[in-house]
């Protein structure tokens, strides 16, 4: 048995010897997090968990939190950590994997501190897709996936929340040397070339 210090907590918060590898995938709305995570999953042995997708699925499921989540997403606000972390823990457990790309989380200091406290997990590193607002706005307005928050009013609110609440989390991890900043204002292929270099050959899927 290893020491308790070396142990993590499992997705339910119990101490375990298993050490999940978590990469937080952060960046402004429309910076390309989901697009690049799909490419990473195709090439590396990771499970992609998008906090936004999990919250949208929760709305669709008719859960008692659905209306609250829907209203918060419409306003570009961050849903309380307790709700999002429970969804992440459940998805981690159900995946059967131990390597995760957690996309769009932590979005604020409350998300960050609560996840660390509840799961005991520290990210291996943080991918930060850095993209100018004008480019992100262009991408979101032409995304065409029927998202209720892809309208100019909500997009502006999401940009404000990103600057005020999410950037401080990126700065927190940057001070710990964990941030891998990527210029996301390039083509999908160019961005992925940089991403591939960060993951390296170790976790690459066999052909
Ligand atoms: N490098 C790129 N160049 C041009 N368009 C891109 C690029 N990456 C993603 N896109 C497009 O921009 C839109 C937003 O991308 P994506 O959904 O991956 O962003 P996101 O960071 O996950 O956004 P959100 O935070 O809103 O979920 C999509 O329509 C996607 O196809
Ligand atoms: N940690 C999170 C992640 C997302 N949300 C809500 C608020 C976001 O504007 C929305 C969409 O997320 P995205 O798909 O853009 O990553 O979901 C949240 O409250 N907390
Ligand atoms: Mg996304």
Rounded CA-CA distance 14/12 in Å is 6
- Ordered by where they begin, the domains of the chain are 21-199 (3.40.50.300)
Supply the mean pLDDT for the chain.
93
In angstroms, what is the span from residue 6 Cα to ligand 3's centroid? 32
Tokens representing 93? Answer: 């457990």
Instruction: Report whether residue 76 contacts ligand 1, using a CB cutoff of 6 Å.
Output: no
Rounded CA-CA distance 199/207 in Å is 16
**If DSSP codes are grouped into helix, strand and coil, which group holds residue 78?**
coil
Instruction: Report whether residue 104 contacts ligand 2, using a CB cutoff of 6 Å.
Output: yes
**156 annotated as a binding-site residue:** no
Rg (CA), the chain: 17
pLDDT in tens, 112-134: 999 999 999 999 999 999 999 99
**35 annotated as a binding-site residue:** yes
pLDDT in tens, 11-22: 666 655 468 999
Predicted complex ipTM exceeds 0.95: yes
In angstroms, what is the span from residue 94 Cα to ligand 3's centroid? 21
Query: Could you identify the atom of ligand 1 that is nearest to the CA of residue 36?
Result: 18
With a pLDDT cut of 70, the percent of the chain lying above it is 91
pLDDT in tens, 49-100: 999 999 999 999 999 999 999 999 999 999 999 999 999 999 999 999 999 9
């Amino acid at each position: 048995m290893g020491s308790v210090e070396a142990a993590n907590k499992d997705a339910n918060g119990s101490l375990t010897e298993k050490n999940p590898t978590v990469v937080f995938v952060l960046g402004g709305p429309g910076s390309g997090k989901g697009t690049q995570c799909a490419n990473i999953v195709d090439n590396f042995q990771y499970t992609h968990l998008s906090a936004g997708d999990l919250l949208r699925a929760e709305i669709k499921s008719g859960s008692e939190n659905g209306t609250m989540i829907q209203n918060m997403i419409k306003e570009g606000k961050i849903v309380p950590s307790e709700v999002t972390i429970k969804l992440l823990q459940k998805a981690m457990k159900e995946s059967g994997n131990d390597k995760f790309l957690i996309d769009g989380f932590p979005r604020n200091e409350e998300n960050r501190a609560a996840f660390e406290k509840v799961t005991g997990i520290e990210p291996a590193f943080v991918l930060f897709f850095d993209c100018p607002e004008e480019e992100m706005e262009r991408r979101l307005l032409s995304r065409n996936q029927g998202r209720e928050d892809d309208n100019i009013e909500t997009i502006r609110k999401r940009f404000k929340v990103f600057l005020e609440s999410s950037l401080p989390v990126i700065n927190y991890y940057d001070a710990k040397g964990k941030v891998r900043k990527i210029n996301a204002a390039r083509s999908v292929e160019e961005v992925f070339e940089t991403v591939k270099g960060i993951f390296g050959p170790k976790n690459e899927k066999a052909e």
